[in-house]
Amino acid sequence: MVFPSGSVTHLPPADLAAAGELGVMARLEEAGVALGVVVLPSAIEDAFYRLNNLPPRLARLYQGLDPRDPDEDIVEEAEQAAVALLSGSYLLDDLIDAIYASLAALPEVVEVRRPGARGSAVTGPRAALLAVKRIFTDDWTTEAVLSRLSVTGRLGIEARPVIVHAAAPVAVAPTAVTSQVHAVVGGDVRFAVDEVGRVIRVHGAGASS
């Protein structure tokens, strides 16, 4: 099992629909624009939660919390245990091997992030895997939990994809690539490319900034 480099159209429709940036990238890919990303599908995060039986274990940490009127003290008191729970959880070896195999197509230094967000630059596949886990863990900081409750009214999360790409975009995209991108999604879009001109990030035109 390998998650293809330079493609987002292999993702389930729900992943593309839920993340504006990925939907835009899918349109670019279908039009022949080269992408420089590896996208880990939401199924990886879902497997992480299921394998470690995280939903009921997390729910116990927030016992007594009313999602409609959350007590900030309960959320703050649960943060350390929730973060430790996710940090100590793991993925199956076959998924780890698939992630490593997929990242082999990318440079040594990569950025790991959620669609529509900034991420962290790391070096090597092991560091990239740990960065993926940190992204999962970040959903359980006090700030993230309170923000989620205010928007969705739910403590739990929806599994989401993770994007990995070269950490250092070039300063100016090649003219030909710019023309291709604007022809597909319009001139208001902002985007970044890697050193060989493949699109690695998209802002605007329906993508989150």
Number of structural domains, the chain? 1
Kindly state the tokens that stand for 81: 């245990």
* 50 assigned to some structural domain: yes
**How many beta carbons lie within 10 A of that of residue 111, not counting itself?**
22
Domain of residue 164, residue span: 13-203
| pLDDT by 10s per residue, the chain, length 209 | 789 999 998 899 999 887 789 999 999 999 999 999 999 999 999 999 999 999 999 999 999 999 999 999 999 999 999 999 999 999 999 999 999 999 999 999 999 999 999 999 999 999 999 999 999 999 999 999 999 999 999 999 999 999 999 998 888 889 999 999 999 998 888 999 999 999 999 986 556 54
- Amino acid 207: pLDDT: 63
Kindly state the tokens that stand for 97: 């091997």
Rounded Cα distance, 56 and 196, in Å: 46
User: How far apart are the two ends of the chain, measured CA to CA in Å?
Assistant: 31
**Residue 6, burial from CB neighbour count under 10 angstroms (0-12, 13-18, 19+):** middle
* 7 assigned to some structural domain: no
pLDDT, tens digit (0-9, with 9 covering 90-100), for 4-45: 999 998 899 999 887 789 999 999 999 999 999 999 999 999
3-state secondary structure at position 165: strand
3-state secondary structure at position 198: coil
- Amino acid 123: pLDDT: 97
Kindly state the tokens that stand for 159: 């599994």
* 181 assigned to some structural domain: yes
- Amino acid 209: pLDDT: 43
* 209 assigned to some structural domain: no
- Amino acid 132: pLDDT: 97
CATH number at residue 107: 3.30.1490
Region of 123 (left: φ > 0; alpha: ψ -120 to 50; beta: rest) is: beta
Q: Whole-model pTM?
A: 0.92
- Amino acid 1: pLDDT: 73
- Amino acid 205: pLDDT: 56
* 86 assigned to some structural domain: yes
* 91 assigned to some structural domain: yes
Identity of the residue numbered 57: R
* 96 assigned to some structural domain: yes
* 4 assigned to some structural domain: no
